[in-house]
Amino acid sequence: MKKLTIVIDIIAAIAAMLLPSANAAVFAEVASASYCPDCPPANEILFDIYSSHEYPFYYVTMVGDKNEFAYDRIKNDYNFYWYPTVFLDGGYKVVLEANREAYEKAIQESLNRERPNIEMYVNASWIQCPCQHGLFIGVNMLNEENRKYDGVLRVYVTEINSRWDDYSADQYHFAFLEFAYVGDVSLDPYEEEFISINWDPESHYPDIDVDDVNNLAIFAVLFNSTAHTAYANPPDKNPFMAYYVDAVAAYTPENSPPSVSIISPKEGYLYIFDREIIKIQRTVIIGKKTVEIKAFDESGIDRVEIYVDGRLKETLRDNYSWTWKDFGSHVLEAIAYDKSGFNSTDVVNAFIIA
């Protein structure tokens, strides 16, 4: 029995050396744009990888044409070449193609690299009082190395289900809003530090209030201070200074709302006899139209309700499509409800003759 125990201990020790740290996670920043026809596949694949929980993997979407803070990050820090580009772990790996196999390979290679042993946790809660308003974010860091650690902490505020749609009229996920904090971190051996942050959306996102908390995800990411030359257009074009990620901590609410998108008809397209013809100034539909809805929630979708001008037309529980026949200018609305009762809405304004 003693020999068996020794063998098991040896196997466990070898496995510990071969496998990435249990605290290791991969963090990706995705350069994207709402006008980019190649971006929707990247959006869908990355969200599917994240939702599968097969890897310890997080990502934020930098919608460059909608958000000046996102564009500044991907342009000035990453010198990006085109949309979509995925920068993993601060530029340790760069993937230009929207390909699941390429993404998973880059994630696995990022997981297997060596990194300092830094423990990090993040939490967030909404505060509304006379002296403070917004999201209180707490980040706790512990250096478990016997040497000093220097890095840069970036705290990303994102919308789980974005206000922005991609080229296929699908909601972006984990769309970057802005940095709640960017600052240098210096930790002595075994030192612990707590940083408190108050993110007030009033300056740039005044429409966000306490009712939107369940749709906000926070990512605290610690980047090493050592610079490496990398290329946004591999193997040797669009150089930038890459600072690799050493630790990632994520705060996502327990009950986030579902995502819902009216995939067809899209805003600003001409449809004739149920076929998408061309992009125009407003949505015009000639002939009956099959309304196609995409809805997702990790807890499951309970139902999708279709409204026209505020009047309920159909309740869908399995196949999220509905045939629309009408005349005149109308507001088409889809509301998705998850199993917990939370809901999200997508709207398209259209002129229809059918």
Q: How confident is the model at residue 136 (pLDDT cuts 50, 70, 90)?
A: very high
What's the pLDDT score for residue 1?
A: 44
Q: Averaging pLDDT over each range in 16-30, 127-141, 246-260, which range is the top one?
A: 246-260
Cα–Cα distance between 144 and 191 in angstroms, integer? 8
The region of weakest confidence among 17-21, 233-237, 254-258, 298-302 is: 17-21
pLDDT mean over 136-151: 97
Q: What percent of the chain has pLDDT over 70?
A: 93
What's the pLDDT score for residue 24?
A: 81
Q: How confident is the model at residue 21 (pLDDT cuts 50, 70, 90)?
A: very low
* Class of residue 280 by CB neighbours under 10 A (exposed 0-12, middle 13-18, buried 19+): exposed
Query: In the chain, what are the domains?
Result: 26-251 (2.60.40.10), 259-353 (2.60.40.10)
What's the pLDDT score for residue 192?
A: 97
Is residue 18's pLDDT more than 90?
no
**Residues 37-87 pLDDT 10s:** 999 999 999 999 999 999 999 999 999 999 999 999 999 999 999 999 999
Cα–Cα distance between 157 and 216 in angstroms, integer? 7
What's the pLDDT score for residue 228?
A: 98
**Residues 103-117 pLDDT 10s:** 999 999 999 999 999
pLDDT mean over 251-277: 93
What's the pLDDT score for residue 130?
A: 66
pLDDT mean over 276-296: 95
Tokens linked to 89: 């772990």
What's the pLDDT score for residue 128?
A: 76
Q: 244 vs 126, 128, 153, 276, CA distance in Å? A: 31, 36, 12, 44
The region of weakest confidence among 72-81, 231-240, 295-304 is: 295-304
Is residue 173's pLDDT more than 70?
yes
pLDDT mean over 192-209: 94
**Residues 151-169 pLDDT 10s:** 999 999 999 999 999 999 9
What's the pLDDT score for residue 23?
A: 57
Question: Can you give the pTM of this predicted structure?
Answer: 0.86
Is residue 129's pLDDT more than 80?
no
Q: 179 vs 32, 53, 81, 220, CA distance in Å? A: 18, 26, 23, 10
Q: How confident is the model at residue 239 (pLDDT cuts 50, 70, 90)?
A: very high
